[in-house]
Copies of this chain bind each other. A is one copy, B any other.
Amino acid sequence: MNTLCIAVDAMGGDSGWQSVLPAVVMAAKCYPAIEFHLYGESFVDDEVNALMRSHKSLSNITFTPSAASVEMDESPKSALRYKRDSSMGMALQSVASGKSHGCISAGNTGALVALGMHFLKCYQGLSRPALCKVIPAIKSSSGDQLLGAKRAGGSTHSYLLDLGANVDCSAQQLQQFACLGAMLCSVLEKSNAPSVRLLNIGKEAFKGSSLIQEAAERCEKTTSLNYQGFIEADEIFQGVVDVIVCDGFSGNIALKASEGAARTVMGNLRHVFSRHLFSRLLALLSQPLLRCWQDNINPDKYNGAYLLGLKGTVVKSHGGADKQQFFYALEMLIKQLQQQSAAVNTTRSNPNDESMKATNMDVTNMESVFSSTFGSNS
């Protein structure tokens, strides 16, 4: 399997195949060397054929019909019992069997976690996987101050997990998520000892729930972690730390609140600039600047989260994603797979490379590193 292959659940998300198919066509054009294996209910085949007819040059998309699809409001239990042969289940099986290198779905998160655990299994010692997202550090001027962006001791982005795969978390799970996030960051950023913080309602050591207190204690004791204490939610976009860890409930709230606030702020500027003739003229003149600004902060661009801790690469797109947003998530998966394969090739071709030795892992051995830390005490 030299060609990079990606399995796609064509039925997932609020608008299902209607967003997924056009996004896959866009990706297939941009990445002609990658193969896209679509899984969906048989009626979607006609849509795929129609698309293939109108894009004759595309030969890197295949379609396999599935017996069912997972509903967006279906319980994980029901999905696990009745929907193993769904489009989502088949995409995951394609990764498990080695046919695809990774898969993507915009479907039901709970079902994706349950079916992912069933078909791909978790790392030894990990009870459940976590959703992890790249959070950009956005350049910001306030007087002379520059927040975020690459600066001494700062990161251009942070990894935030969990984002909703686990609503009730134990302190040990938070500690495990910290390790998972640090491992991913080590591999993707070639970063040595990435800094880790726990999301809390204050920075002072005594603040927060008993759960967060116990998690902090566990992280402090984990010698392989570069744990640096608590972080508050208003610092998420400032690039002050590499990995931010929280339970899935808080993470989901933090992410959605930020997206909602960013969209509201952007929308209000549009509103203010559209009020009268002169303001509309100014908006027209400022168009390139406003577009650049919108491009910097647009939450759509950051669609896609890694389902981390499974023995296989899975990306979850937002359920409400449109074709452009789904395309962004697809691109994220592609880039991760390309980086993983580059990392593996580097290690193989140059086993004495010091940068690889420093991080002491690549994606293929993340599992063994994790298992050696947690395998005995899970």
Contacts and interface: CB of A to CB of B under 8 A. Distances in A.
A94 interface: no
B263 A234 contact: yes
Interface stretch (A33-41, A175-183, A204-212, A303-311): A204-212
Nearest to A232: B256
B257 A167 contact: no
A28 interface: no
B142 A263 contact: yes
Interface stretch (A112-120, A215-223, A270-278, A337-345): A270-278
Interface in A195-253: 199, 201, 204, 206, 208-210, 232-238, 246, 248-250, 252-253
Contacts of A238: 260, 264
Contacts of A259: 234, 261
A260 B273 contact: no
A127 to B, nearest CB: 16
Contacts of A249: 201, 208-209, 250
A200 to B, nearest CB: 8
B263 A262 contact: no
A292 to B, nearest CB: 5
Given A248-B201, A286-B286, A140 B264 contact: yes
Interface in A108-162: 138-142, 147-148
Contacts of A246: 253
Given A167-B201, A210-B168, A274-B141, A257 B265 contact: no
Contacts of A354: none
Given A201-B252, A249-B209, A293-B272, A263 B73 contact: no
Given A168-B209, A268-B297, A269-B269, A235 B260 contact: yes
A137 to B, nearest CB: 9
Contacts of A261: 236-237, 257-259, 261-262, 265
Q: How many copies of this chain?
A: 2
Nearest to A145: B267
Q: Is the interface of A mostly helix, strand, loop or mixed?
A: helix
Contacts of A248: 201
Given A210-B168, A256-B234, A257-B254, A268 B285 contact: no
Given A138-B264, A249-B201, A167 B208 contact: yes
Interface residues of A, number: 63
A236 B260 contact: yes
Nearest to A167: B209
A353 B272 CA distance: 40
Contacts of A210: 168
A75 interface: yes
Given A141-B267, A272-B293, A273-B289, A253 B233 contact: yes
Interface of A: 72-73, 75, 138-142, 147-148, 164, 167-168, 199, 201, 204, 206, 208-210, 232-238, 246, 248-250, 252-274, 279, 282, 285-286, 289, 292-293, 296-297
27 contacts: A138-B265, A138-B267, A139-B267, A139-B268, A140-B263, A140-B270, A201-B248, A201-B249, A208-B249, A234-B257, A235-B260, A236-B257, A236-B260, A237-B261, A238-B264, A246-B253, A249-B250, A250-B250, A253-B253, A253-B257, A257-B258, A257-B261, A259-B261, A265-B266, A265-B297, A269-B293, A282-B289
Given A199-B253, A237-B261, 13 more contacts: A138-B264, A141-B267, A168-B209, A168-B210, A201-B252, A232-B256, A233-B252, A233-B260, A253-B254, A257-B257, A272-B289, A273-B286, A282-B285
